[in-house]
Structures are given as structure tokens and as C-alpha cells.
Amino acid sequence: MIGSNSDQMLWDSFRKGNKDAFNQIYYNHIATLYNYGAKFTNNTTLIEDCIQELFTDLWVKRTRIRSTSHIKPYLYKSIKRRLLRQLSKEKKNVEITDYQEFSIEYSPEDQLISQQNAELSSTKLNDMLQKLTAKQKEVIFLKYFERLSNQEIAEIMEVDVKAIYKLLHRAFERLKDLPFVLLLILQNYSR
Amino acid sequence: MKGKEYSLVDLLLDESFIQWVYGGDTKMWKHWENPDSEGIQQIEKAKSIILAQQFREVSIPDEKVDQIKLAIEKNIALKEKKTRPFKIISFNTWMGRAAIITLLIASVSLIYYTFSNSLLEPVHSESIANTFIEKKTANGQKLSINLGDGTIVKLNAGSKLIFPEVFESDKREVFLEGEAFFKVKRDESKPFILTSGNIKTTVLGTSFNVKAYKIDKTVEVALISGKVSLQRTNTATIETPVILEPNEMLVYNKVGRKSEKINFDPAKILAWKRKILLFENAGFDEVIERIERWYGVTFINSYKGPIEKEFSGAYENKSIKAVMEGVSFAYGFKFEIKDKVVIIK
């Protein structure tokens, strides 16, 4: 996903006080923000509260917010910070720069096929996936599911682009020999 | 980079390779001219790994979207120390459907629009500097869209929705080709106008289903709740609009240019929204066409047997194989599924 002109226009419009633009930004991103937030915690109330605070602050402080042509990474970085800040108050092993949880699972869950053929099982792939670190999983999620550029991912993860390469490299060294072709077939046929 | 050897992981990380994979290009990835068979295998493997990175989504319930928005508005009002009682009240009544329906019926402000001869011509709109967004679904795809005002549109397969980036100040105009379910956010100052295949639907706040596939002979608007006013866009005379009540449906015949109002069963019309593929006394052609649309496949048919039979069946979240077993049994043909092609013999 490359930053776009319309992102820039929409964002600048909102910063100038256009409520419709603000609403559009909310509705455009609410679903993906919620999905992303759910990777860090399954406390849905916390996710909702953080989203609510995020957008409230966005509007109230709109004149002091910087311009951008990539709205999604901006929002993701913000929601991540808020969530981790809250979570670190509750749990000892969570810091903004060091978190242990990023839950992703391969879909689909076609139990019938999985049971019939262990080789074809998506649970085998999910087991391997859980062996990656939280940041490795997050990078894969952002790069191949959200399809963000390395630059955008670096902004969200608050590291430089080289670090992103390293994370991806390490993640795939562990995953590359898994039977992904079979997962692909599963995804296409079990709708 | 002719002849350069890429390791599997190199490919997975290469931006141009990733773009090629997503782009769906059928040509060979150009950075590796004339790859040997091992190279091709490598490319295919990397491609499938990249495409397989699909993860289970945690979706936010529709009501939550509005609840959170409402909370945001309340907080903003608090922080800015301004109260906007009118806006907050209208959100609350939108949540309570019964209140809405009575209000709608009581209000005389259903706004009629005179026809326009143009059909789907949003890009020629004379609004100043208003860009339009086009959202399309391919066969086999469904999409949920939130418009800028809180209206939620669930787009069915093989459909297209066109709407402005920012709604105008006095109306909300959108254009549909295909099928979609609308849950329109109530806004009395900005009536919601949907144009789809010769029918213009005007609503204040309501939920309804519109079926207007180009290939179909009819346009159907089925009202679930609230009230809508419908008008044709392709006549030279000003006609009295048709008003629909809940559970009433307008079927407009494009060929005969006539419309009739009938009652419908909401469960049947909205089956697609609940991921149920439903056939009721459907002809062979209809069955094939709907399966193509639902799963995003194409049929190759060389079956010579009888196909006059009508087919009925309901498939909830089933694979195409399951559906084809049922259909093939009913009609007596054999089938084979290869990738996105179904062969009938």
C-alpha cells in the first residue's frame, strides 16, 4: 500500500476542521484498527476504549497534528502505543518496545479437511507460526496481510527499515519449508 | 538481473517480486529472464507462500461501530464544552427502530426527486471538485463498505458501488450495479438517494436490499425496515413515486418497463448476506450463473442430458464441491473442478 493523494487530501481536510472528512477516516479504518488491536489483546473493551480515545484526541487536537499521505500507518502506530501503554500497567512483561503477544492464525478453519489429512492441516502451520516472536509475526501480518511498504511498517514498529528486513528474514527462515501450497488450496476451496 | 540466483527468502523479501505476485501478472516475473525449471519452482513456491499469508480476522460488530462513534462524539462535545443535543438525540432514535418507523410514517418529509435521463453517470456530475470512489467485488467476493456518514453497505459478488468521497451538503447520492444490502444512517437534512439500473430509491434511514445486476431482466428493491420512495429514471413523464412498506418489494421489469409490488419473505432475500446460497425452483441456467458469481468460477459445459428440471437447495458456508455434488446428482451429470474452472460432462 502506497501513500496516496486521496489519503493526503482527506487527512488535510480533516485537519482543517472538516467533520465529514473526519467521519470518513473513522469509517474507513474502524474495522482494520479493531482487527489490528485484537492482535495485542483479546480485551475488546480495552480496544474499543483506545479507539475511542484515539479519535477523540485526533479531532480535539487536529490543528496540532502533522500532515501525512499514509493514514493507516499513522493510526496503527497510535493505537498500538495506546494499547501497549494500557497493557503494561496491567501486566509485568509488557512494554511499549517489548511485548510478547501478537496473535495471528491462518485461516480458514475447515475442520473436516484438517481431520481427514494431517498433512493438509492448517493447525500444523499455526503451530509453526506460534514459534515466531511477537514482532516477527507482526511484521509478517503488516507486510503480507495489510500489504504495507517497509517504510510504513518501520513507522509503525518504530524501528528503521533494516530492522524490518531482519525480522522478516528470521521469520521466513523458520517458515519457508512449510506446506503453504496446501494452505492456499484450502483457502480457495473451503468458503 | 539476468541469471542472478535468488534464494527463496530473497524472493519473499523483494518488493518488486511481491508487487508481481499481488498484481496477478500472468507473465513471468521479469527480473529473472528464462529461469530454469528449478528457478520456476522457486518462484512458484515463493508466490504461494506470499499468497497464503491470510489470517483470521477479528471483525467488529456493526452496532459497535456506531456505539464507538457515538462515544467519540460525546467525548468531543465534552472536551470542547459545546453541547449538541440535536445530533445526539438523532443517533439515539436511529438505534431504536420502532421510533424511527413511527417518525418516518408521521413525517411528511419524504422527498421526491424528479427523474433524470442519465443512468450511471456519476463522473459527469457537476459538483465542484468532488471525487468519486468506486468499490467493486469480483465474482465470489463480498465486501462491507462504510460510507462517510455511517451508512453501511454490504456488497454482494459481481457488484459495483460508486459514491462520492465527501457527500454534498443537501443529499447523499450513490450508484449501484449488482446487489447490495443497505443500512442507511438517518439524516433528515440529507436524504439518501440510490440509483440502480433505472430505479432511483430515496430514503431517510432504513435498511433494504437492492438487486440490479446488468445481466438480469429485473431490478428488485426489497424493504426490510423503514420506508422508501422509488421512482424510474428513464421516463419522460413525471410519475408518482411508489412507496414501499417493510416486507414489500418492487420488481421492475427492464424489458417490459413495468413494475409490480409484491410481498416477500425477508429470510429468502437476505440469505446471501448470511452466507447461504439458496436455490428455489431455479432453472439450470440460473443455477450455473449464480454458482459462477458466488464462488468466482467459470463453467465449461458439454453435458447433453436433460436440463429442464428445476433445482432447489440451500447451502450454508459450503465449499463449491459440496454444492456441485448436489446439483450434479439432481441433473445427472459428472463434474470436475480444476482451479477456478468447473467442467460438466
Instruction: Give the nearest partner residue to B52 out of A20, A38, A187, using CB atoms.
Output: A187
Nearest-Cα residue of chain B relative to residue A44: B60
% of residues, chain B, pLDDT over 90: 4
Residue A99 has pLDDT above 90, yes or no: no
CA–CA gap between residue A54 and residue A82 (Å, rounded): 8
**A106·B54 Cβ contact <8 A:** yes
Report the pLDDT value the prediction gives residue B234, as an integer from 0 to 100.
63
B155 or B40: which carries more pLDDT confidence?
A: B155
Interface of A with B in 18-77 (CB under 8 A): 18, 20-21, 23-24, 26-28, 30-31, 34-35, 38, 48, 51-53, 55-56, 59-60
Average pLDDT (A86-91) is: 86
- Decide if B258 contacts B199 (C-beta within 8 A): no
CA–CA gap between residue B197 and residue B115 (Å, rounded): 13
**A27·B80 Cβ contact <8 A:** no
Average pLDDT (B113-127) is: 31
Interhelix angle A180-189/A122-129, rounded to 10 degrees, is 120
- A49 pLDDT band, cuts 50/70/90, is very high
- B96 pLDDT band, cuts 50/70/90, is very low
- B75 pLDDT band, cuts 50/70/90, is very high
B133 or B108: which carries more pLDDT confidence?
A: B133
Report the pLDDT value the prediction gives residue A189, as an integer from 0 to 100.
53
**A27·B146 Cβ contact <8 A:** yes
Q: A35-39, B85-89, B133-137: which range is least confident on average?
A: B85-89
Report the pLDDT value the prediction gives residue A155, as an integer from 0 to 100.
94
CA–CA gap between residue B339 and residue B298 (Å, rounded): 10
Residue B105 has pLDDT above 70, yes or no: no
Residue B88 has pLDDT above 80, yes or no: no
Instruction: Give the nearest partner residue to B9 out of A109, A140, A169, using CB atoms.
Output: A169
- Burial of B148-183, coded b for 16+ CB within 10 Å and e otherwise, reads bbbbbbbbbbbbbbbbbbbbeeeebbbbbbbbbbbb
Residue B225 has pLDDT above 50, yes or no: yes
Residue B37 has pLDDT above 50, yes or no: yes
Report the pLDDT value the prediction gives residue A4, as an integer from 0 to 100.
62
Q: Based on C-alpha coordinates, what's the Rg of chain A? A: 18
- Chain centroid offset of residue A88 CA: 19
B255 or B172: which carries more pLDDT confidence?
A: B172
**Minimum distance, in Å, between the CA of residue B99 and any CA atom of chain A:** 25
- B281 pLDDT band, cuts 50/70/90, is confident
ipTM associated with this complex? 0.87
Report the pLDDT value the prediction gives residue B113, as an integer from 0 to 100.
25
Tell me what the pLDDT averaged over chain B comes to: 74
Report the pLDDT value the prediction gives residue A3, as an integer from 0 to 100.
53
Q: A46-55, A116-125, B62-71: which range is least confident on average?
A: A116-125
